[in-house]
Chains A and B, each alone.
Chain A
């Protein structure tokens, strides 16, 4: 075991919520309503079901190989080199995903708050802090998250209560006749690919205090995240109507800007920024940790810590190089990311591995 840390069930739920929620919150409504209009809540529900299926898949797979992570057991299933190739693909995916997240992190801060500050400043700062957290190990940022997440959830609840007088739920009508089955399914791909990041339980499983509860943990986290995203979507549509939600780059930020209570409690954007920075740090740390751990396990090193700083440099460079501008990233994520993450890394490869393991009778029978 490269990381000696063990995390409890509640800690794991918190971690998995922080993995998706804080960043998805900001974009979810725009990406979902782009296809499904005001019916995006149906898409979101479909996405939650998809994520639950992915969690089931990842847990079933990882349970067959106790003590091993997603980067180790493909070797046992497919043989040394093909297995390593799959593990390397996953390492790449964690790098790529994290680079996209770091870019989104910087983009938001520059686009919405500090236009004259170079993007790299925010990216460098967050990667440095995340590197420090990752060096400390899984337990360190998991515990940090235990303090951070309740604040995030509290702030989300408060903003939704404050915006309540402004919303008009009639804007969600008519149901299902403006969109139809295909747009709703299309709208589900993006949120499913975010919620589907739950596939990371196949990496976390060996580090869970009570591994047999892994599926329950994943389900709880997905349902909490799904519910909050659903509330966010509904309030965004009920406030802005689908047309304006699609037009907004950060619908959640626009929503918070509307809040004006008695003409004195207003300008609460700092809340969104706080959620974004605190939640972003945990999310980036977790994927950073997975990428570094995966690299070390692929290379069969004794310690992953020497890789932390070099990996940080790669992440930073990648995040700057991936996209020329904000629109390019939004388009890339909207058109390409969903299928790429969802069909390849979250369902395709795990399904293939599970089928191969079952066919070859590898790994202990899954125990409930």
Chain B
């Protein structure tokens, strides 16, 4: 019995050694990174900006009046790791990357090419491939220096926005896959600081106007270099053409009156690309099939329960979607000359032999690709109302 007890005691004691001696990490010795930003400085250096969680403020500190639970630091270096090393020398705690949720590239850095920065993040064993990537017009630092009213930090808020599918969300993994594919070019959401709301303050003349980071479109790359932007409508087109739209509202003109609109919530979609090649020209048949739910109808004249009206609304919806897709397509083909729709990969899969010749000048070929777009829109549900009550018999 005594021996058993001693054994048990010894066994329990080993728990103290389990964390290891050289690589132990204690919560109270870590500076937890929530967001990271990469900027290119005029001296051809990298400026790394880190949004760190402030100890003691980490949870629930977002209530008005209190200080936000974050702290933002920046440093420059020839490499990302050098900049991080310089920061580490100034911080009393060890920089810990495992909880980093966003990676923001500043515009200059993105224009110079992002491959020189991505290596640090793929080699790191702390950083994750699930980190959300975004590009800021201007400096990445400005994005990280904002705070969030609803979340603990602006990094988390931006990550939630991106995850929710408000724009074309790209994780670091997706970015790497896009960079590695020859028939594709990377895209990433554009993140900007915008005036976001007002916090009323008692006994003061001026309420506090808050600014926060928001996703306002898409950055378009040629290989690893930023070439331009898509606005929010064009981003929708991009999502349609990549078959990645998860949610969103299509505003459709009413069949009887173009000045009045109906809102349709997208509940599902499917996209198929069929490339065709005759040795000279490449054509792409793109078919988009989508399902929606009618959520709003301004017109009081038309009866949605009538099959022909229903069908007409579906047609108009298909037209709106096709138009959005065309906007993105035209911009990519005519203005930027890059395939951001992964059509090259679809071509590669169908014509593996011909791809060998075309792959190195695919973007050039892409600008001349004739795209035949068909959109099929299905209105599956109409909310809790069928025919509007105000429609007269």
Contacts and interface: CB of A to CB of B under 8 A. Distances in A.
Nearest to A248: B122
A267 interface: yes
B357 to A, nearest CB: 13
Interface in B121-139: 122, 125, 128-130
Contact of B130 (A170, A239, A247, A258): A258
B125 A112 contact: yes
A263 B352 CA distance: 38
B211 interface: no
Given A240-B177, A243-B181, A258-B173, A115 B125 contact: yes
Contact of A114 (B20, B122, B130, B352): B20
Contacts of B349: 170, 173-174
A114 B125 CA distance: 9
Which of the four size classes fits the interface of chain B?
A: 20 to 34
Interface residues of A, number: 26
A135 interface: no
Contacts of B21: 117
A244 B177 contact: yes
B23 A113 contact: yes
B129 A258 contact: yes
A297 B349 CA distance: 56
Interface in A138-171: 170
A118 interface: yes
A114 B181 contact: no
A117 B19 CA distance: 11
B163 to A, nearest CB: 8
B348 interface: yes
A241 interface: yes
Contacts of A325: none
A366 B120 CA distance: 59
B180 interface: yes
Given A114-B23, A241-B180, A267 B98 contact: yes
B352 A177 contact: yes
A111 to B, nearest CB: 8
Contact of B177 (A118, A241, A266): A241
Contacts of B176: 240, 244
B209 interface: no
Given A177-B353, A257-B128, A257-B130, A116 B173 contact: no
B156 to A, nearest CB: 11
A178 B98 CA distance: 37
Nearest to B351: A174
Contacts of B163: 263
A240 B44 CA distance: 32
A327 B7 CA distance: 43
Interface string A227-252: 00000000000011101100100000
Nearest to A240: B177
Contacts of B13: none
Contacts of B173: 239-240, 258
A115 B25 CA distance: 12
A37 to B, nearest CB: 11
Contact of B352 (A117, A174, A240): A174
B22 interface: yes
A254 B171 CA distance: 14
Nearest to B159: A263
Nearest to A175: B352
A295 B304 CA distance: 86
A260 interface: yes
Contact of A244 (B20, B22, B180, B350): B180
A88 B341 CA distance: 60
B352 A178 contact: yes
By Cβ-Cβ distance, the 4 closest A-B pairs, closest first, are A177-B352, A243-B180, A114-B23, A174-B352
29 contacts: A111-B125, A114-B20, A114-B22, A114-B23, A115-B23, A116-B23, A117-B21, A117-B22, A118-B22, A170-B349, A174-B349, A174-B350, A177-B353, A178-B352, A239-B173, A240-B176, A241-B181, A243-B181, A244-B176, A244-B177, A244-B180, A247-B122, A254-B129, A257-B129, A258-B130, A258-B173, A260-B130, A266-B130, A267-B98
